[in-house]
Amino acid sequence: MPFQSEEERIREVLRELKSRKEGGDVKEDIERIERILRDPLFKQLSHQPTSSQEVFKSDNRRNSSAEKRVVELSKRIESTAIRKNLKPNQKLLFVYVDAKKVDPVVLETKEKTSRLLAVGPKDVKNRSAGKLRIGDCIVAIDASGGCSSTPSTVSDTNGVSTTTSTHSFIHINQTIKKTDFEGSIRQSIDSNQHLVIGVIREATSMVFCLNESNIKTFITWI
């Protein structure tokens, strides 16, 4: 439901008063309200946005910007080895989250090819409205907020990092460093912009034994 301005709320009260049968009892109230509505100073003040309207518009702008960056990030990753090397039980997802509310915790694995995994907080799924899950492998970050000042790190088709200058605070790599992620979190919070993240999510196999001769395996995305 759209926000009502001060003038709209007063006019609503005025209409209610005029609709009453005992109009004589509210005649003075009606005249007083009509005088207020005709006052030039009131018109000037009532058309100024309320704080709730400003917050609503600000959130819409942030969401719209984040949605555009999600699309841009997904396009940029198409030509990299990340997309090409996905396994059958993996899918690539792009989401945006409020870094301040979600406060994601990550772990940089000690494997030969290290990975950056989301490991907390334990309610990260709820905090992110289901967008981010524990175990997600982070392969792309955009904390730019649409800026274009400093270089970004992008992996080429062989997984080797190269440098571009399209956006700031953008990293696309199978082996994103924890320090890069934490720096992006700070940038996202400081600029009051959503953090856009690309993750690889693995499916888990669930085996259901209906009877001894009928075993079915289902793939589910947690």
* Matching residue, tokens 């207020």: 36
Cβ–Cβ contacts within 10 Å for residue 196, how many? 28
Confirm whether 222 is domain-assigned: no
- CATH classification at residue 173: 2.30.42.10
Residues 63 and 155 in one domain: yes
> How much is the average pLDDT of 123-129?
92
Confirm whether 216 is domain-assigned: no
Q: Is the pLDDT of residue 78 over 50?
A: yes
Beta partners for 164? 152
Residues 86 and 120 in one domain: yes
Q: Which residues neighbour 207 within 8 Å (Cβ) at sequence distance 6 or greater?
A: 215, 216, 217, 218
Tell me, what amino acid is at 118? A
What's residue 64's pLDDT? 85
- Secondary structure of the chain as H, E, C letters: CCCCCHHHHHHHHHHHHHHCCCHHHHHHHHHHHHHHHHCHHHHHHHCCCCHHHHHHHHHHHHHHHHHHHHHHHHHHHCCCHHHHCCCCCEEEEEEEECHHHHCCEEEECCCCCCCEEEEECCCHHHHCCCCCCCCCEEEEEECCCCCCCCCEEEECCCCCEEEECCCCCEEECCCCCHHHHHHHHHHHHHCCCCEEEEEEEEEEEEEEEEECCEEEEEEEEC
- Residue 43's domain comprises 6-48
Residues 31 and 101 in one domain: no
Residues 69 and 121 in one domain: yes
Tell me how many degrees the CA angle 199-205-209 measures, rounded to the nearest 5. Answer: 160
What's residue 205's pLDDT? 55
- Number of folded domains that form the chain: 2
Confirm whether 71 is domain-assigned: yes
Contact status, residue 124 vs residue 132, Cβ threshold 8 Å:
yes
Q: Is the pLDDT of residue 50 over 70?
A: no
Residues 23 and 127 in one domain: no
Q: Which two tokens stand for residue 159?
A: 């997984």
Higher pLDDT, 215 or 84: 84
Q: Is the pLDDT of residue 114 over 50?
A: yes
Q: Select from 135, 139, 134, 133 the least CA-distant residue to 153.
A: 139
Q: In angstroms, what CA-CA distances link 217 with 169, 186, 202, 208, 209?
A: 41, 42, 16, 6, 9
Q: What is the pLDDT of residues 178-199, one digit of tens each?
A: 999 999 999 999 988 999 999 9
Beta strand 152-155 pairing with 170-172: parallel
> How much is the average pLDDT of 92-109?
93
Beta partners for 220? 204
Confirm whether 26 is domain-assigned: yes
Q: How far apart are CA 63 and CA 166, in angstroms?
A: 21
Residues 194 and 107 in one domain: yes
What's residue 25's pLDDT? 65
Residues 11 and 109 in one domain: no
pLDDT, averaged across the chain:
75
Q: What is the pLDDT of residues 22-41, one digit of tens each?
A: 555 667 777 777 777 666 66
Q: How far apart are CA 65 and CA 71, in angstroms?
A: 10
Tell me, what amino acid is at 129? A
> How much is the average pLDDT of 33-55?
59
Residues 34 and 65 in one domain: no
What's residue 170's pLDDT? 86
Residues 121 and 26 in one domain: no
Q: Is the pLDDT of residue 119 over 90?
A: yes
* pTM value > 0.75: no
